[in-house]
Structure 1
Amino acid sequence: MLPDDRDEIRDLLKRTAVALKEGGVPFALCGGYAAWVRGAPEPDHDADFLVPAAESERAVKVLHDAGLTVEDPAEDWLTKVVQGNSFVDVLWRTCGHPVESDLIERAEDKPVLSVHMPVLAATDILTTKLMALDEHYCDFSRLLPVARALREQVDWDTVRREVAGNDFAVVFLDLLGRLGIVGPPVSD
């Protein structure tokens, strides 16, 4: 990502958050930028927000009414806010499941580039990133720096429970244990 692109995505991230806030739409920053706020390396691609599935239509209207360029992609679980070469994904489904209000409610208010906004909890960031792993996307090299940076903020036993049905995620957690990034599961 070029410096101008980074400035552009950061600006679009802030403008999207402000529009959602002012429009009263519940939301949370998620993905790579949420991890970045919590200490991970800054991502080199788009920014992502979650909104509850029940608020998806209102979120699109609020973004459009705020003067942002909103595109309707082929996927039926997100919309894109576009500016120049940058875009922000606003998702209402993650890992094939509708976003529920409780996920947004667990987010913590944090300053992000001088704008206070809800940021997904570290445990939820890792869970959603791990649940996205499958035979078509299994890039552990992008996840390792995030897991390492967030390791002390994550409830690893909760992550283990939540991703137990995803073999790719389970293998990644085993790798984290073998590398000494996380400890063994706590016995019940």
Structure 2
Amino acid sequence: MAVPEDRQPLIATLKKAAFHLKETGIPFCLAGSFAVYARGGESVDHDIDFLIKEEDADRVMTALSEVGFRCEVPPEGWLVKAWDQTDGGDLLIDFIFCPVQRPVTDATLTDTNVIAVNACHMPVLSATELMIHKVLTWSAHYCDFARGLPVARSLREQIDWPRVFRETAHSPYAHAFLFLIDRLGVMSLSEASALSAAV
């Protein structure tokens, strides 16, 4: 269901940025909580994330600066930021090129589907990669499974669980989460493990 843009100004900012990226031909895809929303899922965050390749970061900032966004290169080294300076204040978009230590590549940007987000068509990251990103954010310093449960439950049929198991096997926090959602009946951990091993 579409969100009225007067009630969710981030949607208008998201569409504005996507339009200008498409106009300039910069490869990108929608990620994060709005990608979950676009796929019909339940989102628990309220920010805008796009994935881009690192070599396109300067082009993104140039393109958006030319249409009124305020851009910045933060010290983290894996993203750039842009603020849409609207009447309601600065609305932030993160343009990420290395989420959870996984550099964005052409393969990442093809692991998408074109989906209408409030009537604006754009590439949206796959549910599988969204789930992988979510579980790989957890560490000894931050581990909030409550933020992953709505994504797993609402997108469960779209997620390739053997791939999630295989690509997050190095993380004990990911394994603990998969064990939890197995017990909750969201997915079958034994099936995911067996199918992953068969690849």
TM-score by length of 1: 0.91
Does structure 2 conserve the Cα–Cα contact (< 8 Å) formed by 1:72 and 1:80? yes
Does structure 2 conserve the Cα–Cα contact (< 8 Å) formed by 1:27 and 1:50? yes
**Alignment of 1:37 onto 2:38:** yes
Question: What CA deviation, in whole Å up to 9, does each residue of 1:137-174 have, x standing for no partner?
Answer: 21111110110000000000000000000111111011
TM-score by length of 2: 0.87
Equivalent-residue separation in structure 2 for 1:52 and 1:90 (angstroms): 9
**Alignment of 1:115 onto 2:85:** no
**Alignment of 1:70 onto 2:71:** yes
Q: How many corresponding residue pairs?
A: 186
Equivalent-residue separation in structure 1 for 2:104 and 2:63 (angstroms): 18
Deviation of the 1:57 alpha carbon: 1.8
Does structure 2 conserve the Cα–Cα contact (< 8 Å) formed by 1:5 and 1:86? no
Deviation of the 1:58 alpha carbon: 1.5
Question: RMSD value over aligned CA atoms?
Answer: 1.8
Deviation of the 1:42 alpha carbon: 3.7
Does structure 2 conserve the Cα–Cα contact (< 8 Å) formed by 1:33 and 1:43? no
Q: Any gaps of 5 or more consecutive residues in structure 1?
A: none
Does structure 2 conserve the Cα–Cα contact (< 8 Å) formed by 1:81 and 1:89? yes
Equivalent-residue separation in structure 2 for 1:123 and 1:40 (angstroms): 13
Deviation of the 1:5 alpha carbon: 8.6
Q: In the superposition, relative to structure 1, how do residues 70 and 150 fare at CA in structure 2: closer, same or farther (>3 Å)?
A: same
Q: Any gaps of 5 or more consecutive residues in structure 2?
A: none
Deviation of the 1:85 alpha carbon: 4.4
The equivalences for 1:50-129 within 5 A come to: 50-83=51-84, 84-129=89-134
Does structure 1 conserve the Cα–Cα contact (< 8 Å) formed by 2:43 and 2:150? no
Max radius of gyration: which structure? 2
